[in-house]
Chain A
């Protein structure tokens, strides 16, 4: 006599359960449960910042309502995150090209390395852009522990059946990537968890990145809180006596981590290698961007002219920028990706530190928007 099949193990029960999982998955990953406004996405906590920014990038890709007819996507790290915020660039685009029907998304994440840009580019088809801009700094070709080649976005958003240019560290990691490829809820599980916790136990909302800054004092107050006045005084002292020593003294107020990172990057950076990992990752990124589904350009990010005073080479290496730029250009052009050299766009007064131009106040958004319009016009 055959054994009665337990109802708990009956195939029909599990088949139905799978159908329910698919329905629940769609109910979460295509709704405001996952993508609705949260407080955590605006966190100022540095340990949660990259997670929050990766979440926002994913939302822009997967949950953006149809805006302008032509979409522009920007990939990069803090160097482009800060000065190319949506409000600044959209204002400028509306001013110089009011007739163009555009939708602009800054998908940059603090600390993103070239490996992160490559992983994020795997999602671009879902956004369906007309123009993709990869904002790359020459220093991004140096992968050190101070600026790793891949970071939080690669962990959270890795998808794809085949290994990327940076092989997975373990079999479990590869299986995890397959899971994220095939199953949206699994792909966004960390974001879903954070969103649900946020709704159940909301934390104070710090609000979005400011849409406008009136002055450097307002910027320093935003960045340094109670030490804003002190930073402003040191910054103005540097403006009166614009030496690199004064600039370093200003950075020591609230930006000591930045100084340590820049020094470490220069110290540990090693030599540029045309066959090195970073260039191979860059090549894979360019291969994907140059696929002709969209117009693509690489913006080689502005560099602080003050570095010319760095004769002891603590904060940069003489000749590195030109060698790195040549490598970026030689990697991008064969794939049909335009290269824009923005290294000399900004004066030293436009920089908050050695790497970053100021948001809004620097005026970076003006040449940037002009470059966007030029790229779109060359496409049509």
Chain B
């Protein structure tokens, strides 16, 4: 059996996996940051929690 004279270069699986998962670490951090901002906004601006009491003491 003859070997292939022009073998396809081996893929760096780590890089490939990372690319499939969203590229380098930067998008991962960005994604986490977006999640964090969304969670914070949801906590602050979620409906409810408007506590109204009409004071009649005067």
Least distance between A80 CB and chain B CB atoms (Å) = 12
Q: How far is the CB of B57 from chain A (nearest CB, A)?
A: 5
Which label, helix, strand, loop or mixed, suits the secondary structure of the A interface? helix
The reply to whether B57 and A258 contact each other, CB–CB distance below 8 Å, is yes
A10 B21 Cβ-Cβ under 8 A: yes
Contact of B39 among A17, A48, A255 (CB under 8 A): A17
Contact partner, A193, options B28, B35, B45, B55, Cβ 8 Å: B45
- Knowing A25-B40, A189-B43, A192-B44 touch, does A47 contact B28 (C-beta < 8 A)? no
Instruction: Identify the closest chain A residue to B34 (Cβ).
Output: A17
User: Do B40 and A155 have beta carbons less than 8 Å apart?
Assistant: no
A44 to chain B, nearest CB (A): 11
Is the pair A156, B44 in contact by a Cβ cutoff of 8 Å? no
B31 touches A8 (CB 8 A): yes
Contacts between chains A and B (CB distance < 8 A), count: 104
Q: Using a Cβ–Cβ cut-off of 8 Å, how many residues does chain B contribute to the interface with A?
A: 27
Chain A residue at minimum C-beta to C-beta distance from B33: A20
Residues of A within 8 Å of B55, CB to CB, are 46, 49-50, 78, 110-111
Q: A24-B36, A111-B55, A353-B58 are contacts. A7–B28 as well, Cβ < 8 Å?
A: yes
Contact of A21 among B28, B39, B49 (CB under 8 A): B39
Residue numbers of A with Cβ under 8 A of B are 4-5, 7-8, 10, 12-21, 23-25, 28, 46-51, 77-78, 110-111, 146, 151-152, 155-156, 185-186, 189-190, 192-193, 196, 223, 254-255, 257-258, 260-261, 352-353, 355-356
Listed by A's residue number, 18 A-B pairs whose Cβ atoms lie within 8 Å are A7-B21, A7-B31, A10-B28, A13-B28, A13-B35, A17-B36, A19-B36, A20-B33, A21-B40, A25-B40, A46-B54, A51-B53, A78-B57, A189-B43, A189-B46, A190-B49, A258-B57, A356-B57
Interface residues, chain B, CB within 8 Å of chain A? 20-22, 28-29, 31-33, 35-37, 39-40, 43-46, 49-58
